[in-house]
Amino acid sequence: MGDPLLAGVTVLDLSSVGPAARTSRWLADYGARVVKVGPPPKQSGVQIVPPFYAYSGHRGMERVLLDLRSDAGRDAFLRLAARADVVIESFRPGVVDRLGIGAGAVRAHNPGIVYCSTSGYGQTGPRSQWAGHDLNYLAVGGYLDCSGRNAEGGPALPGATIGDAAGGGMQAVIAILAALLHRAATGEGAVLDVSVADGVVGLMSLYVDEYLATGEVPKPGHNILTGRYACYDVYRCADDRWIAVAAIEPHFFANLCRALGCEHWLEHQTDDAVQDAMRADFAAAIARRTRDEWVAELGPSDTCVSEVATVPELVHAGHFRERDVFVRADAPGHGGFEQVGWVFAGMRRNQPGPTVRDETITDTDALLGEAGYSAEEIAALREEGVAA
């Protein structure tokens, strides 16, 4: 099969949760050597410790514990960074510089480093010091206002952390890969300012660009993708489960109308005056049969219909099972369990199931040894509480 796509790339990750942790997770899944850098046990309150299964249990990663607030811990980190390709950090802007491990300090030891800082609002700007979470970034980036409404008429809470995952984590992965390609061609490193809020604006560009060009204000029901037409909606079935209908193209819409016995709407797909009536007819027709009956008939019939699956349903779905989307893992104290596998294109899907390591086990001695520390020096760092 050949080496993984990022074999030979070493990443130091200073994060524990959030967009940066997603970034290193995906880089590791592409074959990078990822070293998680955390505080010694005496500083256990400094970082959030995610559940054993979160971020795929940090499968395939190594771990070093250093007191970065000490001179010796800072120097150890810089020696590790001198041998790395990528550093990822997610502290509040300015913190890494105060610790002496910011981009400038690392680049002094390794000019070719790709230094990626992830934050909610970016390293600059009037909100750079604001605290926030996924919902805040989706809110300021326009995502919530263009989404569906809850019972009170306000924006509905999203079902996934779109900002953290795509606006932040995927943006960082893309930026890091682009920087590594640039370095391969020029030898130059890069300093990356990944703002989750900026990333959400990028995800919203289809609507933002429309407003900037035309003055049209996007809202729920504004266009075909946000509920304006009956051909793009969700419908309740006889068993109180739901199907998603996305029959945008006219020939898909025509197939849908015929299958539902609603041929009288064939010429009115985007006629605003009749959308309520059309939606009511579709809803009445769909309510006569169960969800799985409709999916079995309409799914393969070029109607762009699918089930609205629950998480328990999707993890047992034959399609995902055949594509090796899930793998079996083991964790000390927790036994065997399943997790999402190596699902992105270019990842090696058919790997053996991973073992999630005991969180008390570190690779500190080996990693510091690689950085040039002697056994005596490592022992001294441990004795001083600088390393663990």
3-state secondary structure of 300: coil
Domain ranges for the chain, please list them. 10-202+358-383, 224-308
Cβ partners under 8 Å of residue 144, min gap 6 = 135, 138, 155, 158
Tokens of 138: 């989706």
Token digits for 318? 């034959």
- pLDDT value for 360: 84
Cβ-proximal residues to 292 (8 Å cutoff; 6+ apart), any chain: 241, 307
CA within 13 Å, CB half, 46: 16
Catalytic, 164? Answer: yes
Q: H helices of the chain, where?
A: 18-29, 71-81, 95-99, 103-109, 134-140, 162, 171-186, 196-203, 205-214, 250-260, 275-286, 291-298, 311-314, 318-322, 364-370, 375-383
Show pLDDT as tens, one digit a residue, over the chain (388 residues): 689 999 999 999 999 999 999 999 999 999 999 999 999 987 655 567 888 899 999 999 999 999 999 999 999 999 999 999 999 999 999 999 999 999 999 999 999 999 999 999 999 999 999 999 999 999 999 999 999 888 888 999 999 999 999 999 999 999 999 999 999 999 999 999 999 999 999 999 999 999 999 999 999 999 999 999 999 999 999 999 999 999 999 999 999 999 999 999 999 999 999 999 999 999 999 999 999 999 999 999 999 999 999 999 999 999 999 999 999 999 988 999 999 999 999 999 988 999 988 888 999 999 999 999 999 999 999 999 999 9
Superfamily of 10-202+358-383 according to CATH: Crotonobetainyl-coa:carnitine coa-transferase; domain 1 (3.40.50.10540)
pLDDT for residue 359: 82
Question: What tokens appear for 339 in the block?
Answer: 């997790």
C-alpha 98 chain-centroid distance = 29
Active site residue 133: yes
Nearest to 29 by CA among 382, 345, 384: 345
DSSP assignment of 247-283, as one string? --SHHHHHHHHHHHT-GGGTT-TT-GGGHHHHHHHHH
The per-residue pLDDT for 333 is 87
The catalytically annotated residue of 13, 67, 164, 281 is: 164
Q: What is the pLDDT of residue 46?
A: 58
Tell me which residue has tokens 């980190």. 77
- Homologous superfamily of domain range 224-308: formyl-coa transferase, domain 3 (3.30.1540.10)
Q: What is the pLDDT of residue 48?
A: 74
Contacts of 252 (CB under 8 A, 6+ apart): 302, 303, 304
The pair of structure tokens assigned to 375 is 């056994």
At residue 170, what are phi and psi to the nearest 5 degrees? -70, -35
Query: Which of 133, 251, 316, 334 is the catalytic position?
Result: 133
pLDDT, position 42: 78
DSSP string, 69-109: TSHHHHHHHHHHHTT-SEEEE-SPTTHHHHHT-SHHHHHHH
Residue 354: closest CA among 326, 320, 317, 315: 326
